[in-house]
Structure 1
Amino acid sequence: MSVAAAGGGDSALKRARLARNMTLEEAADALNAITGLAADASLLSAFESGRRRTGKRNRAGLCRLYRERPEVLFAHQDGAATSALETTGTAVVVKVLTRWTDLIEAMVDVVAEARDQLVVTGSRSREKAYLAAIETAVAQYPDLVHTRVLYGPPRHRALADHLVRLLELRDPSARRNGVKTLHIGMVEPTEALERFFVASETAAVAPLPSFHGADGFDCGVLLSREAAVGLVHHGREACASARLVETIEAVRMLPVRHNQRGEGEA
């Protein structure tokens, strides 16, 4: 439970918005104009109530929007930080995926059902069906915003080739209905630990380390819409601060690490 909820009052973040006579939708639009991200009314409501912690980029944007210090706006979050698992228990976990085949099937399903947002993170992908599903979604749904966050160079040639195919399918510099629909960024290894998930606006899958080897990821969890929405914003924030890799030439210059691994890496 957040501090604001426990005290029965509004958070400073909500009061700052109300003081400016802004609706949640108006505040989200103004925030996105500053950050270049894709916050919506439901996410801002979660920020204000303390159900979700605000990421670094959105924090800076909200401070700029409301002209207030972070220790004031986000005291309700920092004083009683909660995660989706803490606030909902295991309700966000739809299914535990104990087999590699189940993991890949669930990841492909998340991709196939994405219509608004598709965020994929990690530098180890090489499963053909999974990569092909991403390419199919990008080709079939031109309004789908696809974000790919790499953590260091690709570990396998299959992923590097996949990135080239994405860039052949879409031009990242193009704007469809005013929106950039392809984002590819690489977080340098020294800045953050690698993380793996695929998330749409309705569901997400997070692969977990294998019990059978140090490098494999052959099981995972299928997560609900609430968790998926948070992961979409997580990935978009990570990409926004990453080094862009959005030309075929830039992808081909990346060193492919050819790491050996077990089945099912994201």
Structure 2
Amino acid sequence: MTGSVRVDSPFREARLARNLTLEEAAQHLNKKTGGSTDASLLGAWETGRKRTGLKNRRGLCELYELSADILFAHQDDREAASALDESGTTEVTRLLTRYSDLIEAMVEVASGAREQLVVTGSRSREQPYLTAIESAVEQRPDLVHYRVLYGPPRHAALAVHLLRLLELRDPRERRNGVRTLQIGLVEPPDAMERFFVASESAAVVPMPSFHGADGFDCGILLGREAASGLVQHGREACASARPLETMDAVRALAVRPGGTTLQGER
């Protein structure tokens, strides 16, 4: 967000009044929500650099025994407009009208990620794209990867991919104080599925086909500010999701058949 960073928010004061560190507050919140919020994300909420989602807002109101109007006023102040609010449609850098362009752009986003890589959805199956994600995780130990599922995998290729990620990294280990692999399953089962891939510098969002009624084989390539917003979206979703931290937990997710056929990453 633009403007000065706010450090004396009621949100932060509520934590300090209870003599909690950021790590301790995050642990208490996760017990209430079943999520995996970390100290870094909680600190961003406190300063107003990031906005808190509804599920975590409810948990924080319960934890601190304060209303949302008090706790999150510093986040909701319209004077703190985001750079994305100001840049508008200039963030759409390219319209992807062909399936091959869509896959190529998603591979480029995954391959170009250096700090954060967020992938959402349960329908991935394109091997070049999945391989690009695995390569980024394997080659860049400081890269933080968030993988958000909306229901069990729709294709066996995604289930294999998740197991491969767990072979490459242990989600319970930390690097520089941060867990660099976070896989979460959004519940309840009827939660609306989101489809995108985002890094700190670019993002791709698949769109309904321009060529017929079936599939999502088109999309938009977005610039840095929009990508930053989607990274936050994914981090928030992952923090509220049920963590999947072991191979047994992934294997227990039976591949779910059926549903609308989607081409490209979802």
Q: Provide TM-score, normalisation by structure 2.
A: 0.76
Q: Conserved in 2, the CA contact under 8 Å of 1:31 and 1:61?
A: no
Change (3 A) 1:261 1:37: farther
Change (3 A) 1:57 1:229: farther
Comparing 64-73 with 171-180, which one deviates more in the overlay? 64-73
Q: 2: distance between equivalents of 1:187 and 1:41?
A: 23
Structure 2 partner of 1:55:
53
Q: Conserved in 2, the CA contact under 8 Å of 1:39 and 1:233?
A: no
Q: 1: distance between equivalents of 2:155 and 2:192?
A: 18
Q: Conserved in 2, the CA contact under 8 Å of 1:150 and 1:187?
A: yes
Structure 2 partner of 1:255:
254
The letter for the 2-side match of 1:131 is L
Change (3 A) 1:261 1:40: same
Change (3 A) 1:14 1:156: same
The letter for the 2-side match of 1:72 is I
Q: 2: distance between equivalents of 1:43 and 1:215?
A: 39
Structure 2 partner of 1:201:
200
Q: CA deviation at 1:158?
A: 0.6
Comparing 212-221 with 136-145, which one deviates more in the overlay? 212-221
Q: Provide TM-score, normalisation by structure 1.
A: 0.76
RMSD, aligned α-carbons: 3.7
Comparing 143-152 with 60-69, which one deviates more in the overlay? 60-69
- Unaligned residue ranges in structure 2 (runs of 5+): 14-20, 27-36
- Unaligned residue ranges in structure 1 (runs of 5+): 21-28
Q: CA deviation at 1:175?
A: 1.6
Provide the secondary structure at the position in 2 that maps to 1:94.
strand
Structure 2 partner of 1:157:
156
Q: Conserved in 2, the CA contact under 8 Å of 1:149 and 1:184?
A: yes
Q: Conserved in 2, the CA contact under 8 Å of 1:218 and 1:265?
A: no
Provide the secondary structure at the position in 1 that maps to 2:137.
helix
Structure 2 partner of 1:132:
131
The letter for the 2-side match of 1:197 is F
Aligned length: 246
Q: 2: distance between equivalents of 1:126 and 1:36?
A: 30
The letter for the 1-side match of 2:38 is G
Q: 2: distance between equivalents of 1:116 and 1:40?
A: 18
Identity of aligned residues (%): 61
The letter for the 2-side match of 1:71 is D
Structure 1 partner of 2:105:
106
Provide the secondary structure at the position in 2 that maps to 1:149.
strand
Among 42, 64, 67, the residue aligned to 1:69: 67
The letter for the 2-side match of 1:16 is S
Q: 1: distance between equivalents of 2:143 and 2:97?
A: 30
The letter for the 2-side match of 1:261 is T
Structure 1 partner of 2:17:
none
Structure 1 partner of 2:9:
16
Q: Conserved in 2, the CA contact under 8 Å of 1:213 and 1:262?
A: no
Structure 2 partner of 1:246:
245
Structure 2 partner of 1:235:
234
The letter for the 1-side match of 2:246 is T
Q: Conserved in 2, the CA contact under 8 Å of 1:53 and 1:77?
A: yes
The letter for the 2-side match of 1:110 is V
Q: CA deviation at 1:31?
A: 8.5
Q: CA deviation at 1:228?
A: 1.2
Q: CA deviation at 1:141?
A: 0.5
Comparing 78-87 with 192-201, which one deviates more in the overlay? 78-87
Q: CA deviation at 1:192?
A: 2.1
